[in-house]
A and B are shown apart, each in its own frame.
Chain A
Amino acid sequence: MNAGPGGAGRRAARRLAPAAPAALAVAGALGLTTVVMVLAGIDPARAYPALVNGALGDGNLEYTVGAFVPTLGMALAFAIPLRAGEFNLGGDGQMALGGITAAALTLAAPLPAVAGVALPLTAAALAGALAAGISAPLHTRLGIPAIVTTLLISTPAVSLASYLVRFPLAERGTGIAETPVLPDAAHLPSIGDSGYVTIGLPLVLFLTAAWLYLDGRTVIGYETRATGLNREFARYGGVRVDRLALTALAGGGACAGLVGGLIVLGPPYRFVDGALTAPGYTFTAIAAVLLATGRPPAVPFTAALMTILQVGGEGMERDAGVPGQLTQIVQGLVIVIVAVMATVRHLRVRRSRPGGRGRDGVAPQAREAGA
């Protein structure tokens, strides 16, 4: 789609240009967060070094890479449906269902080495796909937006997983809501010494690469983007938009379910109640995807940046006593600022192109996708 005329210089400029507003959004969000910090009587000169050290310092880097895996996976869970114009806010529920499915399957039927990992992960992805896929017909047939149904399904799904881990699947006699440790054959092989980084990393990177290829180079990717840009026009052009919405939502849900499975099959090799949703991967990932402003190749980088902020926030709480919830403030601000900058740019485009289309209800992120 970007194979327009223009020299290599212009193309390079266009490649780099998107990074500028993203950097501006992060800078703006950090600036406003600093104001909040100062108002709360926290010394930023003490907090920010603790943040950087918490994410990238000695011994913390592997943990950050470990947290990058679920964040990138959840970024796919949000980004894939978004390309088709569907908002998936139910990542928490899809992830929890995936995780509990993987745990239940492994505990019920222990399998030998490779199948012991592959089968629960597949089941986890299926569970997530199912949870998200329901929202597609609800939108395309009944007209209820996915943003509402994914969220409404998510809360009971998290509750259901929580119930299962507390009662039928609980480890007796510990008092902690967790399953027993999964059998050895179901442990994800780790990379490096720390155990934080598992083969989940290459798996999620591969999925990201596959998505980037599908999105940018194939018919289904083109049709997805067309649907996200203008559903009616895509339908008129012969795209089966209903089926596409289902594919996109189920695909996103599968990624979320897979993330749940990866977390459960990684250390500490059990489903601990709340361990999947508490770190806030879903919304960290949403902030990352929106920060990428409809440019899929940027998603891994924005996901990395948001992971650093998230993990650094935990470090800040540990080392400087600054509440880690500060990172949620940064994420919220990033999303708001990105939305504002998208319209400012959109208005500028409209002004420079007389007769440009007005507002049509399509999210600017989705709209920009094909620009």
Chain B
Amino acid sequence: MNVLDPAFAASVLTATAPVVLAALGGLICSVSGVFNMALEGTLLWGAFVAVVASHLTGSAWWGVAAAVVAGVLYSAVLSVLTVTLRADAVVVAVGLNLLALGLTAFLMREILGVGGTYTSPDLRGLPTLAAALGRVPLLGPVLGPQSPLVPVAFALVVAAAWWLRRTRSGLRLRGAGQHPEAAASLGLRVAAYRHGAVMAAGALCGLAGAQLALGNVTLFSEGMSAGRGWVAVVAVMLGGVRPYRVAAACLLFGVAEALGFRLQGAGLPQQLADAAPYLITLVALVLAASAGRRRRAGGGVVIARKDRGGR
């Protein structure tokens, strides 16, 4: 088994893309001072809406658009309840994650008429880049099998890094998170920035869901997010507010998942292959946290900014 062949690199990117999209959402929330634990549910909801919209319209791109809108709407609930009404973000997130699980499983039976897994030859998945890149050496075999959303996901990491560092609105978002009172005293509408951040995370989770259900595969199955939203939460803990570090943490998960998939092909039972990405994520988190503990100054794991209030 050759781990370094292009096909393996391709499957790493495929596995990483949805997680990195969701993690970017979590990162933006974290920067703004909101700890978003509802990524898992929002991602699942996005995946479901993407499949339903693609099923109804016959176009995968309408599926993507619908998933983004649905993600924004779903996270608007989180944003109103936690930023405006100041409900406990963790409890609301637990509720929203469970709600997404129930809603998708219920609506799946009502709209798509099946339980468990929905797939159909008529269901349109996202096109691959094979036609555009198939002949390019090196890039072709790695990016060729991907949907266009995969390079978009990684481009968004770069964009987020630039935006947070170099733009006025990025600076203000950081201000809203780092010192809400100071930001508010300078006339910044902290709550508005936080609402924006949570809804942007919704859009990104919608995109992640669409990539998962129409890019990685072309189907919807109950609970198909399978903990990816939680891995995204962990990636934000590992990477703090630095987009490249968060993306690197997601890549680690992607490598673990792709490796697990490979080992499964080589005869490892599926149950053990399934467990690998979570164990590796956990180990990485523990190692990073103990490293951060050793050199207290900077780096390490950023759990959640203490919410100092301020609107």
Please list the residues of chain A having a beta carbon within 8 angstroms of any beta carbon in chain B: 36, 40-42, 87, 89, 138, 141-145, 147-149, 151-153, 155-156, 159-160, 162-163, 166-167, 283, 286-287, 290, 323, 325-336, 338-340, 342-344, 347, 358-359, 361, 363-365
Contact = CB atoms under 8 A, between A and B. Distances in A.
A149 to B, nearest CB: 7
A40 B104 CA distance: 12
Interface stretch (B65-73, B83-91, B147-155, B199-207): B83-91
B94 interface: yes
Contact of B90 (A143, A147, A328): A147
B99 A152 contact: no
A336 B272 contact: no
A152 B234 contact: yes
B286 interface: yes
B101 interface: yes
Most chain B CB atoms below 10 A, which of A143, A145, A336: A336
Contacts of A162: 271
Nearest to B222: A325
11 contacts: A148-B233, A149-B282, A151-B227, A159-B274, A163-B269, A328-B105, A329-B99, A332-B99, A335-B94, A335-B95, A363-B88
Which 5 pairs, one residue from A and one from B, show the smallest C-beta to C-beta distance?
Answer: A328-B102, A332-B99, A335-B95, A156-B275, A336-B95
B88 A323 contact: no
Interface in B261-287: 269, 271-272, 274-275, 278-279, 281-282, 285-286
B109 interface: yes
Interface stretch (B121-129, B158-166, B244-252, B302-310): B302-310
Most buried by B among A153, A340, A344: A340
Nearest to B100: A332
Contacts of B110: 40-42, 323
A41 B193 CA distance: 39
Contact of A144 (B105, B227, B286, B306): B286
A343 B275 contact: no
B81 interface: yes
A363 B85 contact: no
A225 to B, nearest CB: 17
A156 B233 contact: no
Contacts of A145: 303-304
A303 B115 CA distance: 27
A323 B95 CA distance: 20
Contacts of A327: 102
Contacts of A166: 269, 271
A286 B94 contact: yes
B20 to A, nearest CB: 18
B44 to A, nearest CB: 12
A344 B85 contact: yes
A329 B106 contact: yes
A325 B106 CA distance: 5
Interface in B35-52: 37
A339 B92 contact: yes
A42 B306 CA distance: 45
B309 to A, nearest CB: 5
A142 B293 contact: yes
A319 to B, nearest CB: 16
A358 B290 CA distance: 32
Contact of B92 (A41, A143, A163, A336): A336
Contacts of A347: 86
B95 A334 contact: yes
B230 interface: yes
Contacts of B274: 155-156, 159
Given A159-B275, A336-B77, A361-B307, 9 more contacts: A89-B94, A141-B293, A142-B290, A323-B110, A335-B92, A336-B96, A336-B99, A338-B95, A340-B85
A342 B88 contact: yes
Nearest to B281: A152
A336 B94 CA distance: 8
Contacts of A343: 85-88
A245 B272 CA distance: 30
Contacts of A335: 91-92, 94-95, 98
Nearest to B99: A332
